[in-house]
Amino acid sequence: VLNAPVLTQSQKARDYFVQEPDIASVLKEGERCDMALVGIGQISTHSTAYLSGAYQDEDLAALEEAGAVASVSISYIDKNGSIIETSLSNRSIAWPLKKYPKTNVVLIATGLSKAEGLKAVLKGGYINNRMIRSRGSFPLKRSWQLISS
């Protein structure tokens, strides 16, 4: 378990955290994993990251201005499935999607509000497998079918 904030106030604070032995060892161990379970985050005031206080209003504004429609493992994705680099990328602590090229990446998604982000993430080709809550998830399943075929 990575016991660190997902987002710090500055890149300097992030750099300090990732040098701490307990955090550095977990990050190094994570690079050797052959499977990653990831969730998909919204870029909105309804997101868990925003509601928990990790994102501030200005963070959301910067992500929206950059065209982000989803976040997955601290990577921000635009509607075309491309990873967007922002100032938040330099303040985040975790494994970005680009570090998973040889990893089986399993996406866990629930809720209709994730449909746009799911479609973008699937377009980008970052996900090998998915687990979607079945009740009320037709748009999520349909996104997967459209991109997968």
- Rounded to an integer, the average pLDDT of 86-90 is 88
Residue of 89, 70, 62 lying closest to 7 (CA atoms)? 89
Average pLDDT over residues 72-79: 90
pLDDT for 146 equals 47
Quote the pLDDT of residue 38: 85
CA distance 134 to 84: 30
Residue 69's pLDDT band (boundaries 50, 70, 90)? very high
State pLDDT tens for residues 5-16.
888 989 999 999
CA distances from 129 to 2, 4, 55, 67, 104 (A): 23, 27, 28, 25, 8
In this prediction, residues 97-113 reach a mean pLDDT of: 76
| Of 147 and 22, more confident | 22
Under the banding of pLDDT at 50, 70 and 90, the label for residue 147 is: very low
Answering whether pTM is above 0.75, one says yes
pLDDT digits (tens, 9 = 90+) for 8-60: 989 999 999 999 999 999 988 888 888 888 888 889 999 888 898 888 899 99
